[in-house]
Structure 1
Amino acid sequence: MSPKMVALQQAGAPPWRLRPVVLLTIALAWPLARLSPHRLSAVLRFLSRGARPATAAQAERARDAILGLSLRHGGPRCLERSIAIALMCRLGGGWPDWCTGVSTHPFEAHAWVEADGHAIGENPDEIAHFFITMKVSVSP
């Protein structure tokens, strides 16, 4: 993520019955985010096998649940946040398009999820400046 100021994103806490699952996905996202890009891509491709494409509503609910329990993921930790959202969707049977990209003016790196052709929880004007370098979609 770039050194520019990042607005803290927040959401309401998910229901109590869902919180253990959300905490699990947050806990799993942390070590996955430390993998090399090649290994991370391989793991996410494996996890996406057999899933149906996630809907925008499913991805937004997953994002809101993650942000509702983790202030840390509401800021500049886009890689961990996007992985956690994808994992949360997978637990529901779906898989969003997980993307990473770069912008060159100024140089920035970012990670996000897309569903139904739209970046979830991202400003469309800002995300349009990113060139996608890695994308993990539903695998057959």
Structure 2
Amino acid sequence: MTTPAVAEQAPRLPWHRQLAPRCAAGAARLLVQLPPARLQRALRVVSRGTRPATYAQAARARRSVVSVSTRCAGLGCLQRSVATVLLCRARGTWPDWCTGFRTQPFGAHAWVEVDGRPVDEPGELSVFRTVLAVRGGARGVGDRRDAADRRDVGDRRDVRDRRDIGDRRDAADWRDVRDRRDVGDRRDAGDRGDAGNRGDGS
């Protein structure tokens, strides 16, 4: 991300509370190497099964990753935002993860927000247009698409099952018609045979 920022300060955490934030910052450093769309998909998967984070929870997670990572405290807004949501995820919650840009002057930024309110962001973000987002509680568009896809698959299966039942019924009906025709043909042949025998006897 290109938006300039000064290094943020956060109270230093006790050593026994640094493990989770350091793990989140390390995982975030790897994830931010992905292309934006793949990063969004990865975070969408990770966010499933969570509940929406409160502002206090998101702010506490943000301060924690800033405290243990100099990059998260400085220009690494993307890594900071990803580390924040990952740390929240470790505690069963998820704030809104967002990325966007502005045009005058051009700049890109990544942040987390709760109920539309950016969490501990020092600058004004209303000028940024959100491009990618993974919403809290796994309520993103992708999850609705997944649900719609599952419904579509179920509908197609129902249609296929009904078609199979209809095909079997049609096949059974044709067999019944064919069997009745065979019985009728045998009866006709028998009747003609009986008539011929009577004619010969007379």
- Give the TM-score category using the shorter length: over 0.9
Distance in 2, Cα, partners of 1:68 & 1:12: 6
Distance in 2, Cα, partners of 1:117 & 1:41: 19
Aligned to 2:133: 135
Distance in 2, Cα, partners of 1:41 & 1:130: 18
Query: Which has the higher mean CA deviation after the structures are superposed, 11-20 or 93-102?
Result: 11-20
Aligned to 2:188: none
**Are the equivalent residues in 1 in contact too, given 2:47–2:94 (CA < 8 A)?**
yes
The share of aligned pairs that are identical, in percent, is: 43
**How do 1:1-140 and structure 2 match up within 5 A?**
1-2=1-2, 4=4, 6-123=5-122, 126-137=124-135, 138-139=137-138
| Partner AA of 1:31 in structure 2 | L
Higher relative contact order (CA 8 A, sep 6+): 1
Distance in 1, Cα, partners of 2:60 & 2:23: 16
- Bigger Rg, which one: 2
Distance in 2, Cα, partners of 1:18 & 1:123: 25
Q: Which has the higher strand share?
A: 1
The count of residues paired between Structure 1 and Structure 2 equals: 138
Distance in 1, Cα, partners of 2:56 & 2:105: 32
**Are the equivalent residues in 2 in contact too, given 1:100–1:135 (CA < 8 A)?**
yes
Report deviation, 1:87: 0.2
Report deviation, 1:3: 6.0
**Are the equivalent residues in 2 in contact too, given 1:10–1:71 (CA < 8 A)?**
no
Q: TM-score, normalised by structure 1?
A: 0.93
Contiguous gaps of at least 5 residues in structure 1: none
Report deviation, 1:15: 2.9
**Are the equivalent residues in 1 in contact too, given 2:3–2:108 (CA < 8 A)?**
no
Contiguous gaps of at least 5 residues in structure 2: 140-202
